[in-house]
Amino acid sequence: MPDTISPPGLTASNASLRAYLHGLPGVDEVGAAQRAAGLATRSIKTTAKAQAIDLAIRMVDLTTLEGADTPGKVRALAAKAVHPDPADPSVPRVAAVCVYSDRVAIAVEALRGSGVAVASVATAFPAGRAPLEAKLADTRQAVADGAAEIDMVIDRGAFLSGDYLKVYEEITAVKEACGDAHLKVILETGELVTYDNVRRASWLAMHAGADFIKTSTGKVSPAATLPVVLVMLEAVRDFRAATGRRIGVKPAGGIRTTKDAVRNLVLVNEVAGADWLDPAYFRIGASSLLNDLLMQRTKLATGVYGGPDYYTLD
Ligand SMILES: O=C[C@H](O)COP(=O)(O)O
């Protein structure tokens, strides 16, 4: 593994960056799938499960990324983010609300003083097909409107054609445009074809300044599979060992059940370590997970399901 954040010569040319990324150890695809499947069978009960559910709620980036996102829908989501179950004030708030950049101002207004951050997708989400200047303008607008977190997509076309330097330079430019906002870099792992590519894209993003690496946009399948999350958790673990910097991980896309969320938390604990079991270093991006967490929480506390009709839409 490399021993500095930006090894000498790393970005001198695309060839040197390519040599560096292709010099990373290869992923054992079968081993990764088997380890993820083995960890997925772990079950946790009672008190530990209740703690895991509350931790998962605190890690949720409550997301709406639809063309039909109205101001009213964003405000309703913001209200739910702060008080996920208005009848039960013991339910913690979520980490962030994630919206398109033109919805940031509405979310910021609705969440002022709540402790819930506003995250915004940017950089021509979800395809990432736009000139860099347009991506930077999108980012700057979201930050100016109050987004504390930016979720950018990488240029998968550049990555898959071997133009790693272009991907690196876009990330560093967006990082600069973020100012104080945290940058989550979306790899769109469902388009990267191999786990080796997921590992390379993870290291590329971390060297370029990502505060988080995120699996997916939620618009491409497969999205946040357990083996992919495992490979990314190994990457942040090894990057920290090599550089001292701790980068967060955000699986997103298709995480709908408490079981999915708990499986991810088990992976975090076993692969990266308990240091990552914190919303500052692990998030779950989801549009339709929160209600299941609330139902399972109620079931644990009272023995009965509230049922989906009891909760507002998420
Ligand atoms: O960034 C978050 C994703 O868009 C959420 O995907 P989802 O709608 O499958 O939960």
Q: Is the CB of 261 under 6 A from ligand 1?
A: no
Atom in ligand 1 nearest the alpha carbon of residue 98: 1
Calpha distance 122→145 (Å, rounded)? 13
Residue range(s) defining the domain that contains residue 256 = 14-302
Q: Is residue 6 part of a domain?
A: no
Q: Is residue 30 part of a domain?
A: yes
Instruction: Give tens-digit pLDDT for 195-220.
Output: 999 999 999 999 999 999 999 999 99
Catalytic site residue 151? yes
* Ligand 1 mean position, distance from CA 137 (Å): 24
Closest residue by CA, ligand 1 atom 8: 287
Give SS3 for 150: strand
Q: Is residue 7 part of a domain?
A: no
The complex scores an ipTM of: 0.96
Instruction: Give tens-digit pLDDT for 4-33.
Output: 567 777 877 899 999 999 999 999 999 999
CATH number reported for the structural domain that contains residue 259 in this entry:
3.20.20.70
Among the listed residues 145, 151, 238, 292, the single catalytic one is 151
Catalytic site residue 214? yes
Give me the number of domains the chain comprises: 1
Tally the residues of the chain: 314
| Percent of the chain scoring above 70 in pLDDT | 96
Q: Is residue 240 part of a domain?
A: yes
Write down the residue that tokens 């060992």 correspond to: 241
Given a cut of 60, whether residue 140 has pLDDT beyond it is yes
Q: Is residue 120 part of a domain?
A: yes
Confidence of residue 313 (pLDDT cuts 50, 70, 90): low
Give SS3 for 279: coil
Q: Is residue 307 part of a domain?
A: no
The rounded mean pLDDT for the chain is: 94
Q: Is residue 59 part of a domain?
A: yes
Q: Is residue 199 part of a domain?
A: yes
Angle in degrees, CA 172, 178, 182, rounded to 5: 95
Instruction: Give tens-digit pLDDT for 78-131.
Output: 999 999 999 999 999 999 999 999 999 999 999 999 999 999 999 999 999 999
Instruction: Give tens-digit pLDDT for 34-64.
Output: 999 999 998 888 889 999 999 999 999 999 9
Q: What's the one-letter identity of residue 132?
A: L
